[in-house]
Amino acid sequence: MIQALNSHPLFALLTEAEIAFLSEFGHTQRFVPQDSLIRIGERTRDVLCIVEGSVSVQIEDASGGIIEITRLHQGSLIGEMNFIIPTRRTANVVALTEVKAGIFPYQEFCTLLAGDPILATKIFAALNLQLTGKYLNMLSGL
Residue 13 CA from chain centroid, whole number? 16
Which residues contact residue 69 at a Cβ distance below 8 angstroms, ignoring those fewer than 6 apart? 57, 58, 59, 91
Domains of the chain (ranges plus CATH)?
A: 16-134 (2.60.120.10)
pLDDT confidence of 48, banded at 50, 70, 90? very high
pLDDT tens digits for 89-136? 889 999 999 999 999 999 988 898 899 999 999 988 888 887 777 777
For position 1, what pLDDT does the model report? Answer: 45
Task: Answer yes or no: is pLDDT of 141 > 70.
Answer: no
What's the average model confidence in pLDDT over 52-70? 92
Which residues contact residue 11 at a Cβ distance below 8 angstroms, ignoring those fewer than 6 apart? 18, 19, 22, 126
Q: Would you say the pTM of this structure is higher than 0.85?
A: no
Residues 121 and 27: their CA atoms lie apart, in Å, by 22
pLDDT confidence of 40, banded at 50, 70, 90? very high
Which residues contact residue 81 at a Cβ distance below 8 angstroms, ignoring those fewer than 6 apart? 131
Best CA proximity match to 37, nearest among 23, 52, 51, 57: 57
For position 142, what pLDDT does the model report? Answer: 52
Task: Answer yes or no: is pLDDT of 78 > 70.
Answer: yes
**Angle, CA of 47, 23 and 110, to the nearest 5°:** 50
